[in-house]
Amino acid sequence: MRVTDLELAGLKLIELKIHQDERGFFTERFNAKAYQQNQLPTQYMQDNHSRSSPGVLRGLHFQLDPPQGKLVGVTRGRVFDVVVDIRKESPTFKQFFTIELTEDNGKLLWIPPGFAHGFYVLGTEPADVIYKVDALYNPATEQGIYWADPDLNIPWPIQGGATQPIVSKKDQHLPRFEPFFKRIN
């Protein structure tokens, strides 16, 4: 396992060692000792698994109380994964990071509390996203930011000539970044 600190403070890329042969592959997704040695959390409260159809966009989501950190990876398909720094005191506040996570590339993201997260399903197959969270889900404090906020200008790779991805009604009506953060000031 190789861990790289990314340009947004606290965000880490984890590259797993994949053992592959004609039978398939094996990888160790989580090892408490290795995570501890790399200053990654070893205590998680919940494992989540979502399956999304091609063209689906989920996010940008976060939870305020308790704030959640997420260990995110893909076990089927491909996604364009996005995180946005929403920590007002951070020097990278309002900046984003993107990466393609796939079933084959062995990459995971550690997304600490204080980031909004979303993803878009690439290709023609569904995608399974698996993520561990370090705090229990609290629907009362779940929040989000509109995925297409022009102030963030995230370069979503919308495929197939579609002008809009498949987005839930809830995500279609999330607030833009600036008004949301002015409101909770």
Domain with residue 20: its CATH number is: 2.60.120.10
Helix, strand or coil for residue 150?
coil
Six token digits for residue 153: 């200008």
DSSP state at residue 175: P
Q: Which residues are catalytic?
A: 61, 131
Boundaries of domain holding 117: 2-183
The domain total for the chain is: 1
Model confidence, pTM: 0.92
Six token digits for residue 133: 């969270």
Residues of the chain with pLDDT under 70: 160-163, 183-185
Q: What Rg value do the Cα atoms of the chain yield, rounded?
A: 16
What is the per-residue pLDDT for 44? Answer: 95
pLDDT single digits (tens) 44-89: 999 999 999 999 999 999 998 999 999 999 999 999 999 999 999 9
CB 24, CB 57: distance < 8 Å: no
